[in-house]
Amino acid sequence: MHIEELYEAVSNMAVVTQHLKADAENAVSIQQQIAFQLEQQA
């Protein structure tokens, strides 16, 4: 494997990881909003 291909693969993995992190943070934020709304209704 060439260095360029390796670098590109690592860069792509970093981008995917950032997207997964953002998705996880969004999911947590949505869960918190739902919990808040349920508390308001109780």
Q: What is the mean pLDDT of residues 6-34?
A: 98
Name the average pLDDT for the chain. Answer: 96
Q: Sign (positive/negative) of CA torsion 17, 22, 24, 25? A: positive
Q: What is the pLDDT of residue 42?
A: 83
Q: How far apart are CA 11 and CA 15, in angstroms?
A: 6
Say whether pLDDT at 8 is over 90: yes
Rounded to whole angstroms, the Cα distance separating 2 from 12 reads 15
Question: What pTM was estimated for this model as a whole?
Answer: 0.70
